[in-house]
Structure 1
Amino acid sequence: MTKTALITGASRGLGLALARALAADGWRLLLTARGADALKPVADELGALALAGDVADPVHRDRLARAVHDRGGLDLLVNNASGLGAVPLPPLASYPLDVLESLFRTNVLAPLALIQATLPGLRERRGAVVNISSDAAVGAYEGWGGYGATKAALDQLSNVLAAEEPDVAVWWVDPGEMNTVMLADAVGAGEAAAAPGPETVVPTLLRLIATRPASGRVSRA
């Protein structure tokens, strides 16, 4: 039976790299990202269904859930889409609370809402959830408090979900620094260019999916 995956933030970076690898393995893909112009060529390349939109938008999440249902369920949900928050990275003492509230909607509430919407199908097919985390969830890095707080919350949601849903594998993955647009926005293009490419994380994710180890936090390192 052909396996189906839903990947958020799939138009670039880690989401795109993983989508290409899964497509090469014969997976059927549902891909989403905010920019339709960037997402369409990816979907055309991979023979995937593209549904552009913001995962923080409940209407868009409903569209994604309906698409999953129409395809008979889901084997893999990858919550990769993420926001950075305020830039330049501010200290918590002056972090804009409206920006932080929006960041929690994107980085925490949206992944949980997608999990809730697709969980029946994931249970039925003994599927898996991959939530992309960060070392900022566990480390005290100046300026990364807002982003790190959202990833720490996502880690704990993943941890409890794993305990509550024994038939669904749940991994929250810290990919380490990657040369992505987000990292460049945070630290500058020069420093970001020195980081490994997101494709270097894909073997870790493929190994998880193929071998299905116990649910838990996974670091590429």
Structure 2
Amino acid sequence: MITGASRGLGLALAKALAQDGWSLLLTARGEEDLYSAAFDLDARAIAGDIADPAHVARLAKAVPELDLLVNNASGLGPVPMPPLAGYPLDALRDLLETNVIAPLALIQATLPALRERRGAILNISSDAAVEAYEGWGGYGSTKAALDQISHVLAAEEPEVAVWSVDPGEMHTRMLAAAVGAAEAASAPPPEIVAPALLRLVAARPASGRFTRESLERETTGLGAPA
């Protein structure tokens, strides 16, 4: 199951997994892009907002057997991205709902299936979770919270692999919204990250947090989680 699967890294990873023979359930808010991707990949799709508990329940019911959950869907928050001194608190609450509460709700709903299959959870993080970038305080704080959820969940669920991955900058609509189209265009496409994520899933290393660089080292047997 991949959230945010209609474009960007979610779609790139879906393509890589489909080519590797995985059966996929894709979800995203944008119905047209989602169902087009699902048709191309011969995958199932359920459109909806992961912050909607009813949608989470539908997704969990659709996968009585589950080997991998990818929490990729994410919000950016207000644009232009405001400093914390003036960050709208209602907007931060909404962002926490989308980037932290919703992934945890989906994890809770699918854990029985993941435990049964000794499956894995892949939470997509960001360098903004650990670095102090001006304007990124709201978004970064949600990703830091998701990282900590990943760490604690790994300790509590030893039979389920839990990985948090910072894929680095990628040329996506979200990055363009944050930094502008011209700067975003200089970043590599999300397809450059998908092969390393595919190797991560296949190698099934110990739970941990990975950057793009440490992920490359780990999946070639040369390093350890960051």
**TM range, normalised to the smaller chain?**
over 0.9
Question: Secondary structure at 2:134's aligned position in 1?
Answer: coil
Q: Which runs of 4 or more aligned residues in structure 1 lie more than 2 Å from their structure 2 counterparts after TM superposition? A: none
Give a deviation string over 1:121-165, Cα, whole Å, max 9, x none: 101101000000000000000000000000000000000000011
Pairing partner for 1:154 from 123, 146, 149: 146
Number of equivalent positions: 213
Pairing partner for 1:56 from 39, 45, 51: 51
Pairing partner for 2:104 from 99, 112, 121: 112
Map 1:88-167; keep pairs closer than 5 Å.
Answer: 88-167=80-159
Unaligned ranges ≥5, structure 2: 214-226
- Residue 191 in structure 1 maps to residue 186 in structure 2: no
Question: Secondary structure at 2:63's aligned position in 1?
Answer: helix
Q: CA deviation at 1:204?
A: 1.6
TM-score, normalised by the number of residues in structure 1: 0.96
TM-score, normalised by the number of residues in structure 2: 0.93
Q: CA deviation at 1:103?
A: 0.3
Q: Cα RMSD over matched residues?
A: 0.5
Give a deviation string over 1:13-58, Cα, whole Å, max 9, x none: 0000000011111111000000101111100001111100000010
Give a deviation string over 1:153-204, Cα, whole Å, max 9, x none: 0000000000011100000000000000000000000000000100111122
What is the CA–CA distance in structure 2 between the aligned matches of 1:68 and 1:101, rounded to whole Å?
29
- Residue 75 in structure 1 maps to residue 70 in structure 2: no
What is the CA–CA distance in structure 1 between the aligned matches of 2:51 and 2:94, rounded to whole Å?
9
What is the CA–CA distance in structure 1 between the aligned matches of 2:168 and 2:123, rounded to whole Å?
14
- Corresponding residue for residue 204 of structure 1: 196
What is the CA–CA distance in structure 2 between the aligned matches of 1:153 and 1:53, rounded to whole Å?
23
Unaligned ranges ≥5, structure 1: 1-5
- Corresponding residue for residue 8 of structure 1: 3
